[in-house]
């Protein structure tokens, strides 16, 4: 960047007319680099693990999620580079199976680390991808809270529900195959905790709680 461009940039910063591609705060730039790096890592995981998957249902889930993640990555990258609306807006991921969970624990052999890559199986693959989505949901949420560019903020925020949906899809798959078991509390304890709270009374019209009133 030459002296004239630097001077123009400095002037733009003071007048508020920052070019769209430079409309990013420093914290945002670091966060987006982490989000995009994690996105590359997750897509690479799908590519590497797909050849080890055996269950046709898991392969189908992986194919649909992989295609969706590639498009979402490109959408995020484009708005980050341009600071403007991407050509393909954030899409909505919808899983295809039902959302029935099996509750309770059944005896299983203890888990232990692999000794060879030949031990990679559907349980491991679905678990890896589930954790990737859970991590992305947290990372994108935190990044959106620090993002100043309105387009990038919206793209990040809109992609969080997709992380949740894809993670939920994999958790249901794991649960159905007894890889991910869901214990429950005793009925008495569950009832006590679900009934431990009562609804809040709505404030009367035109009135605010005393601590929120402006002090003079």
Question: Which tokens belong to 190?
Answer: 């569950």
Q: What value does the mean pLDDT of the chain take?
A: 88
> What are the distances in angstroms from CA 62 to CA 55, 89, 109, 121, 126?
11, 22, 26, 14, 9
Q: Does pLDDT of 10 surpass 70?
A: no
Question: Which tokens belong to 10?
Answer: 């400095």
Sequence-distant (≥ 6) Cβ neighbours of residue 135 within 8 angstroms: 38
pLDDT of amino acid 22? 74
pTM recorded for the entire structure: 0.83
Q: Does pLDDT of 13 surpass 50?
A: no
Q: Does pLDDT of 152 surpass 90?
A: yes
Residue extents of the structural domains in the chain: 19-103+115-187
pLDDT tens track for 191-200: 999 999 999 9
Q: 19-103+115-187 has which fold?
A: Ferritin (1.20.1260)
Q: Which residue has the higher pLDDT, 73 or 14?
A: 73
């Amino acid at each position: 960047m030459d002296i004239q461009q630097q001077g123009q940039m400095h002037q733009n910063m003071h007048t508020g007319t920052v070019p769209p591609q430079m409309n990013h705060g420093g914290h945002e730039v670091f966060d987006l680099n982490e989000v995009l790096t994690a996105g590359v890592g997750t897509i690479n995981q799908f590519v590497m693990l797909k050849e080890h998957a055996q269950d046709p249902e898991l392969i189908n889930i992986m194919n649909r999620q992989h295609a969706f993640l590639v498009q979402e990555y490109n959408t995020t990258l484009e708005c980050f580079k341009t600071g403007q609306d991407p050509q393909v807006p954030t899409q909505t991921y919808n899983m295809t199976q039902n959302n029935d969970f099996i509750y309770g624990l059944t005896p299983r052999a203890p888990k232990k680390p692999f000794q060879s890559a030949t031990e990679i199986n559907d349980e491991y693959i679905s678990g890896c991808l589930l954790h990737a989505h859970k991590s992305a949901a947290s990372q994108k949420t935190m990044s959106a809270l620090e993002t100043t560019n309105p387009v990038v903020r919206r793209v990040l925020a809109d992609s969080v529900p997709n992380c949740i949906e894809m993670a939920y899809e994999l958790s249901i798959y794991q649960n159905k195959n007894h890889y991910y078991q869901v214990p429950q509390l005793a009925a008495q304890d569950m009832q006590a905790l679900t009934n431990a709270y009562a609804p809040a009374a709505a404030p009367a019209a035109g009135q605010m709680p005393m601590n929120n009133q402006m002090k003079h």
